Structure 1
């Protein structure tokens, strides 16, 4: 994953911009250029029952000028540091469509967007725009929720057996991206794969029920061999490679908390062209359960089919 051009989605009407601060840090470390994208819309400017159309249009232009000035104020401190920062202002209700359109035009290496964290529930509350970006954006998406805290550790969640039907190349992309983040940003990288044997209570084959421990051992062996084979291409430190038993939606969040992971790297694919398409049932359950930054990547030849 190259880091030459970053696209930051600015959250309207918020002083805190965690995604912008993370992009600033990334640019400082890599020299990447940054573009700030703000998609604004206010229905009041289009309700012209009480205002003449020309007055409503003038009011909207004034409002957009103010928002452009706001973008420039956000960019100014970064430019003062010598960073290459541009600004893009769009008008319209559909944030995701503006982001995807700009992604197609700009061809950024990474899209960054702020995500809200609910302290009482200790989980990310991903809004509709975040989910739509994860589902449909062809470039990696980094959801940022910890302003002012620079990442130190990342975890790449791998699926070397491709049980979730993901293209094999995606696992290699996750490892390559994690290694690059380790080398360029100094993030300590862990690589995790989890597997879940069928519970004893669900085993209906008489021979398997009798020798259930052997079934579990064989399952673990198969997953360990798959993980070892995948990691052998990259000489990953054994101490940073983990195979754990259990369901991903439980094991991964537990690992993230126990190991103080700041960034979870996952792969996902869009299942269809429907707006309700999932990026993967397991991935969605995991993403809702963790309390760290999220980097979601797609296959190299990503296409919504």
Structure 2
């Protein structure tokens, strides 16, 4: 089978298509004939700096859609041929991948394989940020960093569906602002945002801020909170030094800081992940949320997909098209 791997860390050019053995599922696992693979910023960090890479060579990729090829021992609730979306621990840039059965989700009726590949990381992350950790309440105001990315696109829509009073986004360029405004945001700031948030909220600040960037952006998000506001960190795209915050920053206005990682949850609390994922997937099935696929590449063009995402000019969701068939639903 084909797989895309890297044997050293570096730019997109280190990605290579190789021939590899077809993996077999072990206990509690299934193998999947991959139709589509989602491209995530975590894949770029793995390639460039070894994020969550146990050893080299390494096949990146954290989410797929496809059909179950084989089931391992002790798997009783999934069947061969079933159309699924899955969260993996790497290895998704390939014709066949293996995933733990607890992170494999049958596609809801009306959700096809192409859409299914956009779901495993983005939808549960967005839902968990807003509802599980962020505990959004109707009428509250929300600030989202990277508002035009995959998670950001979903967050704007979910926050609006949850009854947010106002949803503010932050992006890096004006074209991204136009995109975000079409996906649930009331106002989008380009670049700087702290003073702009205060102005937009008449000095009050926001109730909930969601940050995947870290570093100075994290500190700016903290400074944008209203009294009793909550900040949820779900990444460190800036690769800045890990943030620290304590009583001097939190106590005076009763602020709260939390964290969220879909990959961490998959490893430590898969049952909780399944609950979050089922609720999140329903939001797609009932039309509450749409996540546009804005660019699609063949598996052999994975380096091009990485280059586009690394340019910070992409919006929405990027996919690798691995295999399709006449039986694939749209």
Structure with greater contact order relative to length (CA < 8 Å, sep ≥ 6): 1
Larger Rg: 1
Give the helix-richer structure, 1 or 2.
1
TM-score, scaled relative to structure 1:
0.28
TM-score, structure 2 as length reference: 0.26
Structure showing the higher strand proportion among its residues: 2
